[in-house]
Structure 1
Amino acid sequence: MGTVVGHSVCLAALMACLSASAAPVCEVMAVRGQASAAGRELAQGDKLDEGTVLKTGAQGRVRLRCGDGSTLVLGDNSSLTIEKFEVGPDDKRIAAKLLLETGLLGQKVAPSTAGSWEVRTPTAVTAVRGTEFVVEINNEQQTEVNVQSGQVDVEALLVPTRALHPRKPSRVSLDSPKAGTKCNQFTGCTESAAWSAERIKSTQDRLSFD
């Protein structure tokens, strides 16, 4: 009898752990235009799991709130995968990994002294602790990053080349408001430079719900 009870307790504990690990990691707060996940149109209140792939149409955008309090806005003509989002029992972020394959992503990352936040594109990877910034992968597969507050470290995902001329830096730190960079897989990233007010406004308009 004791063995049966013991097995039952272990099974219950295992099911509880599986249930906790499968808990949704983000919630849809607002949707405009066409926005879907797994071929299903998204609606306010939808819960999203790790592995979810979100897509938006020409006029689409979607705002998410994640388990650590961070918020995301996926702009028009975009594709985003929530590869990993791990939060501790105190709602503090442990690790977040996002893949932006196309389009524009705005982020307001909740501060965390230890938890990581990484956004990859086909040509670069960004890493932060807590900040507000945007990442865009354009039609030429160039990654553009702009920071509104805090600090963002950007690294180009370089492919081997036999070019005679030296490459641009493969890593850039954006640590001042309005600072931006553009990266590609052949030449690296441009030096940190401020975006114009017009450029910032145009980007923010694509992420606005007003």
Structure 2
Amino acid sequence: MMNAHTHNTGRCSISISGLLALTVLSFTSPVLADGPAGAATLVVNNASAGDGQLEPGGGVNAADTIRTGAGSAALLAMADGTELALGEEAELTVLDFVGQAADSIGKFTLEVTSGAVRFATGSFAKPAYTIRTPSAVAAVRGTIFSMYVTDIGETYIAVEEGSVEIRSRRGTKFTVPAGAAMFLNTRGDVDGSLFNPLAGADLSALPRGAVPTDAIRRMDRTLLAATSVPGQPATPRALGLPAAIEAGVIKAEDLPPFATKTPAYGKSKYGTDKDRDKDGGY
């Protein structure tokens, strides 16, 4: 079951057996390159993995591209403990997944090409995690963060816990702490803003940031509604910091202070949407 993509006939379904099988796998096989990288634990409406439909319990393998349809969402549980949430019309590819061994820290590389995604890291060492988009490379440093990639490759990132190191297409590097958000266009121009992670990811202070904020909130509403059925398994860290705190997975008092001043990367030269329109857009 874990290494096959199966047909999804229901509107919303959750697999207990698939989640348990993944848990057994993660404890019995320290090197995972030859097995599934993870599995879907929840699919709302429709999603695909590789060449087939994805439903709960269906395996996610290295090199698979995961896509969700309109009005759809999905939760993935990876074998290292990483949790991923995907909103509607999202697309990501598992470029590489190699488990920890005696001479390895593990390796997990994703490419996100469209839509809203939330990433909550697992048990691999911090240098193991890399996420690529058309306009940035993110090195994850033990964290929960939300990401939105536009149809022309712009990247929005809001860090809810921990920090993310970003490298733009110009090669410039930035550290984005919890409570800070960042926008990068395909030329490498950057904008930054602050938000309150206890209220959820908010990118609305960034250029055209209402669109990604709405997409992330739609993702959360869809997944929260699907996981609210009593007795059903959920992955609350992938549902964002407020949901994780409410579920007791994370204690608010244990969180470090959030960013309280303008992020060091500051503003790009494109200060307003009007300026961008004048410049001809991206």
Alignment TM class, shorter chain as reference: 0.7 to 0.9
Q: In the alignment, what sits opposite 1:172?
A: 174
Q: Distance in 1 between matches of 2:134 and 2:93?
A: 13
Q: In the alignment, what sits opposite 1:182?
A: 183
Q: Which has the higher helix share?
A: 2
Indicate yes or no: 2:151 matched with 1:151. Answer: no
Counterpart contact for 1:74–1:207, Cα < 8 Å:
no
Q: In the alignment, what sits opposite 2:194?
A: 194
Counterpart contact for 1:123–1:141, Cα < 8 Å:
yes
Q: Return the offset for 1:35.
A: 0.5
Q: In the alignment, what sits opposite 1:129?
A: 141
Q: Return the offset for 1:199.
A: 6.2
Q: Distance in 2 between matches of 1:183 and 1:115?
A: 22
Q: Return the offset for 1:104.
A: 1.4
Q: Distance in 2 between matches of 1:134 and 1:109?
A: 12
Indicate yes or no: 2:92 matched with 1:74. Answer: no
Counterpart contact for 2:158–2:201, Cα < 8 Å:
no
Q: Distance in 2 between matches of 1:95 and 1:129?
A: 13
Q: Return the offset for 1:67.
A: 1.2
Which structure is higher in RCO with an 8 Å CA cutoff and minimum separation 6? Answer: 2
Counterpart contact for 1:79–1:102, Cα < 8 Å:
yes
Counterpart contact for 1:149–1:176, Cα < 8 Å:
yes
Q: Distance in 1 between matches of 2:43 and 2:105?
A: 25
Q: Return the offset for 1:198.
A: 8.0
TM-score (norm 2): 0.58
Q: In the alignment, what sits opposite 2:242?
A: none
What's the CA shift string for 1:112-144, capped at 9, x where partnerless?
445421111111111113100011111342100
One-letter code aligned to 1:189:
V
Q: Return the offset for 1:93.
A: 5.7
- 3-state DSSP class of the match of 2:187? coil
Change (3 A) 1:199 1:21: closer
Q: Return the offset for 1:151.
A: 0.5
One-letter code aligned to 1:33:
N
Which of 145-154 and 133-142 deviates more? Answer: 133-142
Q: Which has the higher strand share?
A: 1
Number of residue pairs the alignment of both structures matches: 179
Q: Distance in 1 between matches of 2:37 and 2:200?
A: 34
What's the CA shift string for 1:22-78, capped at 9, x where partnerless?
210111110001201234211111111100011111111111111111100111111
Q: Which runs of 5+ in 2 are unaligned?
A: 1-30, 203-212, 226-282
Counterpart contact for 1:109–1:132, Cα < 8 Å:
yes
Indicate yes or no: 2:201 matched with 1:206. Answer: no
Q: Return the offset for 1:207.
A: 3.5
Q: In the alignment, what sits opposite 1:57?
A: 69
Structure index of larger Rg:
1
Indicate yes or no: 2:99 matched with 1:87. Answer: yes
Change (3 A) 1:147 1:30: same
Q: Return the offset for 1:103.
A: 1.0
Q: Distance in 1 between matches of 2:178 and 2:200?
A: 18
RMSD over aligned Cα atoms: 2.5
